[in-house]
C-alpha cells in the first residue's frame, strides 16, 4: 500500500471507529458486533505502525470510547478506567500468559471472572458512605450519576464494618433479562422502539434524568474491582472477597486459577453454563492476581498489560429465509431486512435479521427460501452470516436488490464510495418526511416533548403536519380531538413547541437533518459560520477548508441548500423566530480567540484538558483535533506528543504554554 493510500484509509478508519464509539457509548445503539469493531481497530493499529507519520494523539487506538453527555456534571476518575484487550481464540490467551510471565519475576496466577455485558461504573466510598458514582466516560472523566446509582438495591449506601477511609468500587450495571423483557413489552405497547438488548437498556436507564424511573427498572450491579491508595491485600482475589464481606455483590463464578490450563478449562466450562444466568455475558476477563506483579507489567496507552478479555464466539442457528423487505431511513438510506422463520437464538426469538446493504446480499448469494445461518454479532443485533447450500431449491430465484424506493417509487441512488443505496426524494417520501420530523423534535435537536414516533405518525396521517415547519402552525384545538390526546396533553405539546423557538443555533442546524451533518459537525459549522446565511453561501472549497469537514459532508451541505423547498422551510422557521445565528450568551466570555483553531497537547496544572477546550470555545475559538495548516497555535503542556511537536516545527506553528494562554484570555 502506498503512503497516500494508507493515509486515506487511516482517516476513513478513524471516522468509522469514532462513529461506532458514539453509537455504543453515547447512543447505546451499536450497529456492529464487538468482533467487527475489533477488526477495524486492529486494521488501524497495523496501518499506524507501518505508516507512523499518520498517527496522532487523537487516534482511537490511543483512547477508549466516551459516554459523556452534557446533562450531567463531570468528574475525573482517581484511577483511569481503561479498556481491555480482546481475544477470540485459545492461542492468543496462551500468548498473553507468555507475555505476563516474561514481564515479571513474580509467580503468576490468574483470576477468571465472567464478563457481564452492561454499563461500567466507578463508585467512590468515603468514610464508609457512598459518595459519588461516575460512568466510564472517556476513561479519564465521566458523568456523575450518583442519584441513579443509589436506586440500585444491591449497592450499600453505608458500610457498617471497618473499611479503608476512601476506596473505589468498579462494577457493571446490569439489567436482568426478565426485567428487560417486561420493559420492552411496555415500550412496544406504548408505540416506542424496544431496546436492542439488556446492555443498551441498562446504559440508557443510567443516563435518565429522573431517578424515580431508574428505580422502577430494578437495575443490578456486579462488582469486579476494589481500588485504593492503600489496600491491606496483596492480590485481587482477596480484595474482592473482602468487598463481599462489606456487602457488595461478587458473582460466585469468580475463580482463582494457578495455571493457564485452568484458565482455558474455565473458559470452556462457562461457554455453555453462561446461558442459564439471568444476565447477559459475552466472555471471560482474565487478570493477573498479584497486585505487585500488575505494577511491574504496567499499561499500554489504553489498556492494562495484566488483563485480557476472552470473547465467546457468537451463537449461530439455522433457519429459513422467508423474504427480504426494505426499510427507508430518515436520510433516505435503504436497509434490507431478512424476514425469517422464527428461531430461538441466545435466549430470545429472532424473526428478522439485518442484511446491511446490496453488497452483503451479493456476497451471501442469497436465494428465496435459503436456509441461512443467523447469529447475534457480539450478542447484540441478529444478522445473516452464511447459507447452507445443501438445502437450496434450484428453482428459487436469486434475491436482487430493489431499484426503486419501496415507499414512493423513486429511482434509488448510490453515490460513489458509499455502501448504501438511498432514495433522493427526501421532501416527499413518507418515511423520510416522518423521520425528519422525528429527528427535528428529538432531545438532542429541538427537544420537543410529547411528540414521540406514535404521535408524529398520527399527526402525519391526519395531514396536520407534512414537514417540521408545520409544527409551528399547530394549535391546541388541532390536537385535542385526536385519539388519546386530551386538553392537558395538547397544551403541553404546544407549550414545548413554543419553548423550542429558543433552541441555540448549533442544535437548530443539527435538527434540519442535513445529510452527513451530525451533532459534532453542526457545532463545527456553527462555530465557523456564525449565521445560517453565511453557511448557505459557502463554497465547497470554503467548507472543506474547515478541519473535519470532508468532500462528502460538503456535498451534502451544498445539495441541501441548493433545494428551493428546503430554503422555503428555513424561511418559515425564521419567520417563527427560530435562532439561525450564534448569540452571545452568559456562557460566552469573549471573542479573543475568534477565528482561531487551537490544538491542545500535553498535561496541565491550572485546568484539565476538557476545561481548556471549554475555555477555547467560550472565548470564540475552535478546538482542532490534529495539527494542520489551519492550526492557529498549539496550547502546549508537559509531555506534549512528539508527533504533534514535529509537525508543528515542520509547519512553523506557534506553541503557547499554559500561562501564556491564560494571559491571552485574561485569566492569568
pLDDT of 112: 97
Q: Higher pLDDT residue, 188 or 230?
A: 230
Q: If you count them, how many residues does the chain have? A: 668
Dump the DSSP string for 79-148: S-----EEE-SHHHHHHHHHHHHHT-SSPP-EEEEEEE-SEEEEEEEETTEEEEEEE-TTSSEEEB-HHH
Q: Higher pLDDT residue, 89 or 237?
A: 237
Q: Residue 65 — pLDDT band, cuts 50, 70, 90?
A: low
pLDDT of 114: 96
- Burial (Cβ within 10 Å: 0-12, 13-18, ≥19) of residue 176: middle
How do residues 178-192 score in pLDDT, each as one tens digit?
898 888 888 777 666
Dihedral angle over CA of 513, 613, 581, 543, nearest 10: -60
- Residues of 635-648 as b/e, b for ≥16 C-beta within 10 angstroms? bbbeebbebbbebb
pLDDT of 26: 53
Q: Apex CA 441: angle with CA 438 and CA 446, to 5°?
A: 150
How far does Cα 119 stand from its chain's mean position? 12
- Burial (Cβ within 10 Å: 0-12, 13-18, ≥19) of residue 608: middle
pLDDT of 379: 46
Checking if the pLDDT of 85 tops 60, the result is yes
Q: Higher pLDDT residue, 484 or 298?
A: 298
Checking if the pLDDT of 95 tops 90, the result is yes
Rounded to whole angstroms, how far apart are CA atoms 540 and 83? 39
Beta sheet of 307-311, edge-to-edge order: 85-87, 307-311, 281-288, 110-116, 255-257
pLDDT of 559: 92
Q: Apex CA 166: angle with CA 160 and CA 169, to 5°?
A: 80
- Residues of 570-601 as b/e, b for ≥16 C-beta within 10 angstroms? bebbeeeebbbebeeeeeebeeebeebbbbbb
Interval 355-379 mean pLDDT? 86
The most confident of 8-12, 136-140, 431-435, 639-643, by mean pLDDT:
431-435
Strand pairing category for 85-87 and 110-116: unpaired
Find cell 442546524 and name the residue. 509
In which residue ranges of the chain is CATH 1.10.287.610 found? 3-62
Interval 402-406 mean pLDDT? 96
pLDDT of 35: 64
**Which is nearest to 277 in space by CA: 178, 183, 343?**
178
Range in 367-371, 382-386, 477-481, 491-495 with the lowest mean pLDDT: 382-386
Checking if the pLDDT of 145 tops 80, the result is yes
Interval 569-574 mean pLDDT? 96
pLDDT of 34: 61
Q: Higher pLDDT residue, 253 or 199?
A: 253
Strand pairing category for 622-624 and 597-601: parallel
Dump the DSSP string for 365-425: T-BTT-EEEEEEETTTEEEEEEEEGGG--TTSPBP---SB-TTT-PBPB--TT-S--B-S-
The most confident of 56-70, 384-398, 494-508, by mean pLDDT:
494-508
Under a CB-based contact definition with an 8 Å cutoff, are residues 311 and 87 in contact? yes
pLDDT of 377: 58
Rounded to whole angstroms, how far apart are CA atoms 488 and 376? 43
Rounded to whole angstroms, how far apart are CA atoms 552 and 282? 36
Q: Which residue of the set 14, 55, 115, 622 is catalytic?
A: 115
In which residue ranges of the chain is CATH 1.10.150.20 found? 430-575
Checking if the pLDDT of 549 tops 90, the result is no
pLDDT of 15: 80
SS3 (DSSP) at 493: helix
115 given a catalytic annotation: yes
Q: How many CB atoms lie within 10 A of CB 212?
A: 9
Under a CB-based contact definition with an 8 Å cutoff, are residues 173 and 219 in contact? yes
Rounded to whole angstroms, how far apart are CA atoms 668 and 615? 13
Checking if the pLDDT of 83 tops 90, the result is no
Checking if the pLDDT of 604 tops 50, the result is yes
In which residue ranges of the chain is CATH 3.30.470.30 found? 111-264+279-305
Rounded to whole angstroms, how far apart are CA atoms 527 and 534? 12
Most distant CA pair in the chain, distance? 79
Checking if the pLDDT of 530 tops 90, the result is no
**Which is nearest to 369 in space by CA: 406, 344, 402, 338?**
338
CA distances from 1 to 7, 11, 17, 59, 251 (A): 10, 15, 21, 20, 48
How do residues 245-293 score in pLDDT, each as one tens digit?
999 999 999 999 999 999 999 999 998 898 889 888 889 999 999 999 9
To 10 degrees, what angle do helices 177-189 and 198-206 make?
80
Rounded to whole angstroms, how far apart are CA atoms 485 and 448? 16
Checking if the pLDDT of 113 tops 90, the result is yes
State which fold the 111-264+279-305 domain adopts: D-amino Acid Aminotransferase; Chain A, domain 1 (3.30.470)
Question: What share of the chain in percent tops pLDDT 70?
Answer: 92
Checking if the pLDDT of 229 tops 60, the result is yes
Checking if the pLDDT of 133 tops 80, the result is yes
Q: Residue 314 — pLDDT band, cuts 50, 70, 90?
A: confident
Interval 134-156 mean pLDDT? 90
CATH superfamily, with its number, for domain 3-62: Helix hairpin bin (1.10.287.610)
Q: Higher pLDDT residue, 287 or 530?
A: 287
Query: H/E element holding 664?
Result: helix 658-664
Q: Residue 329 — pLDDT band, cuts 50, 70, 90?
A: confident
Q: Residue 62 — pLDDT band, cuts 50, 70, 90?
A: low
User: For the domain bounded by 430-575, which CATH number is listed?
Assistant: 1.10.150.20
CATH architecture, domain defined by 597-664: 3-Layer(aba) Sandwich (3.40)
Checking if the pLDDT of 302 tops 50, the result is yes
pLDDT of 134: 94
- Burial (Cβ within 10 Å: 0-12, 13-18, ≥19) of residue 629: exposed
Amino acid at each position: 500500500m502506498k503512503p497516500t493510500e494508507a493515509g486515506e484509509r487511516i482517516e476513513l478508519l478513524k471516522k468509522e471507529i469514532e462513529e461506532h464509539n458514539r453509537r455504543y457509548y453515547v447512543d447505546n445503539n451499536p450497529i456492529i458486533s464487538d468482533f467487527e469493531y475489533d477488526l477495524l481497530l486492529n486494521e488501524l493499529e497495523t496501518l499506524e505502525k507501518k505508516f507512523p507519520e499518520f498517527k496522532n494523539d487523537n487516534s482511537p487506538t490511543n483512547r477508549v470510547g466516551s459516554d459523556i453527555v452534557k446533562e450531567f456534571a463531570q468528574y475525573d476518575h482517581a484511577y483511569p478506567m481503561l479498556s481491555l484487550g480482546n481475544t477470540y481464540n485459545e492461542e492468543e490467551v496462551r500468548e498473553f500468559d507468555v507475555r505476563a510471565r516474561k514481564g515479571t519475576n513474580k509467580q503468576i496466577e490468574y483470576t477468571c471472572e465472567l464478563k457481564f455485558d452492561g454499563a461500567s461504573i466507578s463508585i467512590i466510598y468515603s468514610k464508609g458512605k457512598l459518595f459519588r458514582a461516575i460512568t466510564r466516560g472517556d476513561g479519564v472523566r465521566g458523568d456523575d450519576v450518583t442519584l441513579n446509582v443509589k436506586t440500585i438495591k444491591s449497592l450499600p449506601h453505608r458500610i457498617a464494618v471497618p473499611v479503608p477511609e476512601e476506596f473505589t468500587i468498579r462494577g457493571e450495571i446490569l439489567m436482568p433479562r426478565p426485567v428487560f423483557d417486561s420493559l420492552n413489552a411496555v415500550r412496544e405497547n406504548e408505540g416506542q422502539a424496544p431496546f436492542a438488548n439488556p446492555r443498551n437498556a441498562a446504559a440508557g436507564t443510567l443516563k435518565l434524568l429522573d431517578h424515580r424511573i431508574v428505580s422502577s427498572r430494578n437495575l443490578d450491579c456486579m462488582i469486579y474491582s476494589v481500588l485504593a491508595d492503600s489496600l491491606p491485600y496483596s492480590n485481587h482475589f482477596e480484595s474482592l472477597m473482602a468487598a463481599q464481606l462489606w456487602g457488595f455483590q461478587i458473582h460466585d463464578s469468580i475463580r482463582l486459577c494457578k495455571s493457564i490450563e485452568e484458565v482455558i478449562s474455565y473458559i470452556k466450562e462457562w461457554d455453555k453454563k453462561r446461558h442459564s444466568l439471568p444476565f447477559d455475558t459475552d466472555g471471560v476477563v482474565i487478570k493477573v492476581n498479584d497486585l505487585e506483579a500488575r505494577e511491574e507489567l504496567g499499561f499500554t496507552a489504553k489498556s492494562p498489560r495484566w488483563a485480557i478479555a476472552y470473547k465467546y464466539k457468537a451463537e449461530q442457528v439455522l433457519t429459513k429465509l422467508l423474504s427480504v423487505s426494505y426499510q427507508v431511513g430518515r436520510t433516505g438510506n435503504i436497509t434490507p431486512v431478512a424476514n425469517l422463520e422464527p428461531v430461538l437464538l441466545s435466549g430470545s426469538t429472532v424473526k428478522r435479521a439485518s442484511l446491511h446493504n446490496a453488497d452483503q446480499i451479493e456476497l451471501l448469494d442469497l436465494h428465496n427460501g435459503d436456509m441461512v445461518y443467523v447469529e447475534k454479532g457480539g450478542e447484540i443485533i441478529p444478522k445473516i452470516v452464511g447459507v447452507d447450500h445443501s438445502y437450496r431449491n434450484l428453482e428459487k430465484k436469486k434475491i436482487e436488490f430493489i431499484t426503486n424506493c419501496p415507499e414512493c417509487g423513486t429511482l434509488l441512488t448510490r453515490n460513489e464510495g458509499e455502501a448504501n443505496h438511498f432514495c433522493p426524494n427526501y421532501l416527499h417520501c413518507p418515511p423520510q418526511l416522518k423521520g425528519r420530523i422525528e429527528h427535528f423534535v428529538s432531545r438532542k435537536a429541538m427537544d420537543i416533548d410529547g411528540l414521540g414516533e406514535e404521535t408524529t405518525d398520527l399527526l402525519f396521517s391526519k395531514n396536520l403536519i407534512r414537514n417540521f415547519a408545520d409544527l409551528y402552525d399547530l394549535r391546541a384545538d388541532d390536537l385535542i380531538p385526536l385519539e388519546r390526546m386530551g386538553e392537558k396533553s395538547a397544551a403541553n405539546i404546544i407549550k414545548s413547541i413554543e419553548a423550542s423557538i429558543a433552541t441555540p443555533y448549533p442544535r437548530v442546524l443539527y435538527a434540519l437533518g442535513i445529510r452527513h451533518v451530525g451533532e459534532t459537525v453542526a457545532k463545527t459549522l456553527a462555530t465557523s459560520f456564525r449565521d445560517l446565511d453565511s453557511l448557505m453561501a459557502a463554497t465547497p472549497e470554503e467548507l472543506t477548508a474547515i478541519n473535519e469537514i470532508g468532500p462528502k459532508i460538503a456535498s451534502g451541505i451544498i445539495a441541501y441548500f441548493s433545494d428551493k423547498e428546503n430554503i422555503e422551510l428555513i424561511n418559515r422557521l425564521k419567520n417563527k423566530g427560530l435562532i439561525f445565528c450564534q448569540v452571545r450568551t452568559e456562557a460566552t466570555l469573549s471573542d479573543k480567540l475568534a477565528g482561531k483553531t487551537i490544538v491542545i497537547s500535553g498535561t496541565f496544572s491550572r485546568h484539565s484538558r476538557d476545561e481548556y477546550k471549554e475555555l477555547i470555545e467560550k472565548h470564540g475559538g475552535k478546538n482542532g483535533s490534529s495539527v494542520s495548516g489551519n492550526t492557529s497555535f498549539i496550547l502546549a503542556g508537559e509531555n506534549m506528543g512528539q508527533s504533534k511537536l514535529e509537525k508543528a516545527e515542520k509547519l512553523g506553528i506557534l506553541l503557547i504554554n499554559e500561562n501564556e494562554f491564560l494571559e491571552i484570555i485574561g485569566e492569568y
